[in-house]
Amino acid sequence: MLKTRLIGLVLVKDGIAVQSVGFSTYLPIGVPRIVVKYLDRWGVDEVVLLHIDGVAASTENVRTYSGQSQTPLSVGGGIRSVDDVKRIIHSGADKVVMNASLVSSPEVVTAAATLFGSQCIVASIDARRSGTDYEAYLDGGRRATGLSPSALALRAETLGAGEIFVTSIEHDGSRRGYDLDLVESVKEAVTIPVITAGGAGSAEHIRSAIARGVSAVAVGNMLHYTEHSVTLLKRQLVRAGADIRIDSYVSYQGTSFDLDGRLAKLSDENLEHLRFRYFPEEVI
């Protein structure tokens, strides 16, 4: 069975990985290369790395991001031309994420999809609630399109995109869960996989998105500041019955969690058992 993917979202602004709140407040995290490396070692299913300052990633940037990681990597932000796409794919990314081009230069999206295949092109759509409906935005939430996210998603699919990455601007960094109505509206409009992003604050938020049938869930801020954050989150999801992959060497099998998602203390019996177990260093 194909598993629902847990995507690690890395936002890069002026060369630094940041957390984002509401597309307006940014908190520094550190060097993007290190963030990607840890996500890889902790067993994330895919990495989406976005240059949110609108400056496309250079060859050197992408080489550094992909150099120490054996995880599928999508790179986006500031991609305007087919040459940008070529450069990013040839320097080690597996997919590119496109946003403004969907409206301002749709021919670039189609040309890139013809050249590298649809599986290489992810269309990113940022949306804000407007009245009872939603409106799609470009350029990091600054430019309104006048289109609904589902209409833009359908247009992206027609242009040749292979996946749709939907972010709720209001939910971004809020830790109150994904905007599932928004995701649902996009999912109904297209036949290609839909990824939900913006607002994950607990394993329960992610589980309910998976239950809605999204192909992948993107998690950003929640994965910072915690050792083994990806593995811990995946273990909680598996305990809650989600069908996802845990392959990392440290897998937290048999551990339980408290209501806030923190690791619960192991039982005395379990601790006693661990005293006599040998954990050799992993050799591949």
Partner 1 sequence: MAEITIVNYGMGNIGSVANAFRRLGATWDVASSPAQVRTARALVLPGVGAFRSAMRNIRELALAEALTDAVLTRRVPFLGICLGLQLIAEESSEGGPTQGLGWIPGEVRALEPAGELPVPHVGWNQVEFLGTAPLFNRIDQAAHFYFDHGYALRSGDSVVTATCDYGGRCVAAVQRDNIYAVQFHPEKSQRNGLRVLRNFLTIAASYATADNRVVC
Residue ranges that bind partner 1, judged by CB under 8 A? 1-3, 5, 40, 43, 45, 63, 66-72, 89-92, 94, 116-120, 162-163, 191-193, 215-216, 245, 247-249, 282, 284
- Least separation in angstroms between residue 161's CB and partner 1 is 12
89 vs 108 by CB, closer to partner 1: 89
Q: Which is nearer to partner 1, 73 or 232 (CB)?
A: 73
When the beta carbons of 39 and 100 are compared against partner 1, the nearer one is: 39
Q: Which amino acid does the sequence have at 146?
A: G
Which residue number, 2 or 259, has a Cβ lying nearer to partner 1? 2
Q: How far is the CB of 154 from partner 1 (least distance, A)?
A: 15
CA nearest neighbour of 199 among 169, 218, 221, 176: 176
Task: State the nearest-atom distance from the C-beta of 67 to partner 1, in Å.
Answer: 6
Q: Give yes or no for a contact between 89 and 82, defined as CB atoms under 8 angstroms apart.
A: no
Contact 92, 66 (CB under 8 A): yes
In contact, 7 and 35? CB cutoff 8 Å: no
Among residues 147 and 192, whose Cβ is nearest to partner 1?
192
Q: How far is the CB of 5 from partner 1 (least distance, A)?
A: 6
> Going by DSSP bridges, is the β-strand pair 163-168/46-51 parallel, antiparallel, or unpaired?
unpaired
170 Cβ contact list (under 8 Å, min separation 6): 22, 128, 129, 179
Q: How far is the CB of 233 from partner 1 (least distance, A)?
A: 16
Which residues lie below 8 Å from residue 107, measured CB to CB, with a gap of 6+? none
